Structure formats: structure tokens, C-alpha cells
Amino acid sequence: MENIYSFETENHATDNIEELFKNLKKLTSLPAEEAHCLPFECYSNRTILDTEVKEIFHSDWIFIGTESELPNCGDYLALDIGGEPVVIIRGKDQELRAFSNVCRHRGATLNPIGFGNVKKFICPYHAWTYNDKGELLGVPFKGKVKLDKKEHCLPEFQLHIWQGCIFINLDQEAEPFGDRLSMLDPYCELFQMKKFTKSFARTQYRCWEANWKVIMENAIESYHQFKVHNTTLEKYTPTKDVFYLKGSADCSLLAGKIIEINKMIKLILPDFFDYYLIMCLRPNCLMILRDAGIEWLSAFPIGRNKTAIRAGGASLTGKQNIIEKRFKKSFFDEDEVIVKNTQAGMHSRLSKGGKLVEMERPLVDFHQYWGRRLFGATPTPLYTNEKKLTEFHKCASEYFGKSFP
């Protein structure tokens, strides 16, 4: 992951940023029937990105991954959140904790970005050493200098586990995680999401050449599927069979139907519920929930035109066959191409986006979340697609043998 402040030289300048923010507040308060795309400059403006880092990535609850990726004592994941080095580690007491990944001596980064396992954090510069609770243990060759170890502990960040997923908040005074995703809990419990404790092979961060919002918008809507993924996803999860269930600025829930047109699905899922759920977890995660496991994509900005993405998942066994791995790589490659293509258009000064169609309702929810965080916009209330929700509840109840409350 590159540092958030290693920005590209090009900047989509805005003559009057205050006027733009005022207009964006109005735009992100509109109901779905009147919603439009965000102005293109929102995806290439330095001031907007700095505001997003401050108001979202440094002060809201950010999805990191799943606790199944860190099963053993000493397992850690180091990452960069808006220019802030962070490390999550499982301690000897089995608890997960999040700390600053910066030595309290002279600021060296303690652990390289990615996964690892350590008994202690040892600074690569002067070997200051910390335990898995962030406490300073030792300082080599300090001489006669008096040093209070308690004043040199690693800053700890808030961490919350929701349905096996790790969220952290860098703001020490932020409100608790609370019930922001409570709308999704009944569905997670129906699919017994917590039973998927075996993580797929852990993946490293990749850089995609697009703004983080372009990537998240692409992830949460299925409108592009019939065109971009015509030979991959569209064959098995058709665009016409994806539908919005309910959502708001807090989160969105969609469902889709899997069709079995050849032996591939049987090889992956010999006995499967032919619906899957799409959960849009603000601000940076798209999660697919099936009765066989979960899969997700997360995004972290590392520039106006660059984003660090990481995908993962878990199941009962943590195993994926070669067919499934190749299939996923195919449609991920397709997504990477289209978001890069879209980002190129975000620098246009002579064009602008149009109205959002019905299948893009998840974007309306996402934009309202974004507007609320950045400008204090007022989102519309929770919307429920009663017909589709009833239909899904009926099918799910018959398959799982459980009824919704």
C-alpha cells in the first residue's frame, strides 16, 4: 500500500470548493427517484480526498477483514488507513487488538504491510520492543537516560467484531459501533455466518488505478454485470435476477439468484441454496453471503486515482478448488479494467454524469452515507422493497426450515 500523501501531480481543481460542498450536500440528500451520479470531480479532487480521509477513514468504523484470518497467537495484519500505519494482532490471551504500527522512539514502521506472526514487535531501527498489548518492554543501550515505559506504549485503537468481521476506528473519541448493522443480523444468523471460521488463503493488498469510490460503486451494483461480466458472472448470477431488498445510508441488502447451467456450480456447491445475499458495509466493504460461505472486497484510498484493494472469504473448510479460483480471477480482472476505464473519464471537465437507474439504488445509499459524513447531508429513511423481501423470506424459510421474526 502506498502512502495516502504520495499523490499524483494531476489535480482536478475546483474554483469554489465551498460552493461545491454546498451543492453536494443537496445532491446527496435527494431521494432515489431524483438521484444523480456524483460530479466527476468528486473522484479526482485532492480537497475531497483529504476530507474523506478525515471524516471517514480516520473517524468512522472501517472494515479490515475477518477474525478467521488471524487464528493464532501472534498473527497480525499490518495496513495503511489513510496514511496511518496500523497493525492488528491476536494476543496470547486470544484477544484481537489494534495499535499504531509506528515505533514510539523515532517513528520507524514496526511491521511491513501484510500478514505475519510475531511474539513481540521489534523496531527494525533501534530494536525498541513491545508486547502484544502495545506495552514497551525494552530499550537497548539507553545508558543513564531515565525513560518511563508507560509513556511510550503504542497508541491503541478501538476494535469491534461484528459477525466475525473486524472493524476498527482510529478516532479515540468515536461513538461505539452500536447497532449500525443490526438490519443485517437476522440474515447473518439465518445463514449461520459465524460458523464460517476457516479463512481462504490470505491475500495481500493490490493497487487498482481508480478512486476508492469508483471501486466501491462498481462492487455494490450489479447493473454492469450483463456487459462487463458477460462470459463470467452473468452466466451464473444473471443481472435480471439481482434485486434490492432494503437499505439506507447505514447499509444495503440485496439478493441474487444462482442459476445452474452446467457442471461448474455443482463442482463448487453440490448442495446449495440458489440465492445469495449482497451486503454493502459502509464505507469500504462489499460482502457476499451464501449458505456455503462468505466472500468480500475491501478498499482503502492511497491517492485520488489509486486504491488498495483486498479480497477474502471464509467457509467451513477454507478450501477453494482450482475452478473457483480461476473463475474469481477472471471477473476480478474484468472489474479492474472497467474501473480504470471509468477513472479516466473522471478527469473530464466538459462532461457530467446522469441520473441513476433503479438497479443503482445501492449507489444512492452509498452517496447518502458519504454526504452525511462529509457535509452533514440528511439521508432518506430506510427503504424496503416489500414484494422482493417477502419473496426472498419465503424461499429462505423453506430452505433453512426457519422463519423470519
Of 169, 193, 213, the position where a domain reaches its end is: 169
- Residue 229: C-alpha distances to residues 40, 133, 288, 338 (Å): 24, 45, 17, 10
For residues 160 and 167, is the Cβ–Cβ distance under 8 A? yes
131 with 195, same domain? no
**Residues of the chain whose pLDDT is less than 50?**
2-10, 262
Residue 3 lies in a domain: no
Is 5 contained in some domain? no
- Domain ends where: 169, 191, 217? 169
The pLDDT assigned to 15 comes to 66
Query: What are the tens digits of pLDDT across the range 177-193?
Result: 999 999 999 999 999 99
CA distance 401 to 136: 53
pLDDT at 13: 56
pLDDT value of residue 16 = 84
Domain enclosing residue 80, as ranges:
63-169
CATH code of the domain containing 325: 3.90.380.10
pLDDT at 264: 54
158/252 same-domain check: no
Give the pLDDT score at 401: 87
Position 175 in a domain: no
Alpha carbons 125 and 143: distance in angstroms, whole number: 17
* Longest Cα separation, the chain: 75
Residue 377: name the closest of 38, 9, 10 by CA.
Answer: 38
pLDDT given for residue 173 in this prediction: 94
In this prediction, residue 311 carries a pLDDT of: 96
* Domain match, 207 and 230 both: yes
Q: Which of 380, 96, 67 is nearest to 246 (CA)?
A: 380
Give the Cα separation of 185 and 164 in Å (integer).
12
pTM above 0.85, yes or no: yes
pLDDT for 5 equals 38
Question: In the chain, how many domains are there?
Answer: 2
Examine residue 31 and say whether the peptide bond preceding it is cis (omega within 30 degrees of 0).
Answer: no
